[in-house]
Amino acid sequence: MTPSYNEKEVLLLLQHEDTQKEAFSRIVAQYSEQLYWQIRRMVLSHEDANDLLQNTFIKAWTNIDYFRAESKLSTWLYRIALNECLTFLNKQRATSLVSIDEPEADAVSTLEGDPYFSGDEAQVLLQKALLTLPEKQRMVFNLKYFQEMKYEDMSDVFGTSVGALKASYHHAVKKIESFLKDSF
């Protein structure tokens, strides 16, 4: 049976070399699912999300000695995961021949043929609307809308003020609503 997650205990176990791996496996068990969904909403494909999630945990493991518990462990992991996503999306944009006018068209057609996507027409439209947003704004929207993350926690993840995040979410909501209004 998996022991219940206790962050203080995990942080203590992380400090000793012989218990570090055990602590890390508890972290993976605790955060892998929520991080996966966040990554998946950004990159859409399961294979890419799986690769990025693995990279996130490997980076976290190699840098775990530098984690000083000044922020929450989850915040630190989100920061690594979202940076991985941004790097991946920038590389993808640089290498693929995506249409400048409709960057979302290619991604949506891939999504519709994805066996691990079971959304209806409205959800496809929502994904299409999300793809029109700048990447950071999309991250903010996903964290607030789907995960209901607090602005204060988001501020730690992005290193941006709460006010700026609220404004970013507000703009994202307006853009998506306008996109959906034109499409429905």
Partner 1 sequence: MKEEDEILRKCGTGNPFTVPDGYFDHFKENIIEQLPEKVDQPTVKHHITRWSRVKPWFYMTAVFAGMLLGVRLMLNLTSGSESSETSKHAETEIVTDRYVETMIDHSMMDDYSLYECLTEAE
CB nearer to partner 1: pick between 56 and 157: 56
Q: Does 25 bind partner 1 (CB under 8 A)?
A: yes
Q: How many CB atoms lie within 10 A of CB 117?
A: 16
Q: Does 116 bind partner 1 (CB under 8 A)?
A: yes
Q: Does 96 bind partner 1 (CB under 8 A)?
A: no
Q: Does 173 bind partner 1 (CB under 8 A)?
A: yes
Q: Nearest distance from residue 172's CB to partner 1, in Å? A: 10
CB nearer to partner 1: pick between 34 and 156: 34
Residue with tokens 């995040």: 165
**Cβ-count burial of 165 within 10 angstroms (0-12 exposed, 13-18 middle, 19+ buried)?**
buried
**Residues 2 and 29 sit within 8 Å (Cβ to Cβ):** yes
Site string for partner 1, 26-65 (x = CB under 8 A): --xx--xx--xx--xx--x-x---x--xx--xx--xx---
Q: Does 126 bind partner 1 (CB under 8 A)?
A: yes
Q: Nearest distance from residue 70's CB to partner 1, in Å? A: 22
Q: Running DSSP on this structure, what letter comes out for residue 149?
A: -
One-letter amino acid of 2: T
- Of 42, 25, 23, 39, the closest CA to residue 138 belongs to 42
Q: Does 98 bind partner 1 (CB under 8 A)?
A: no
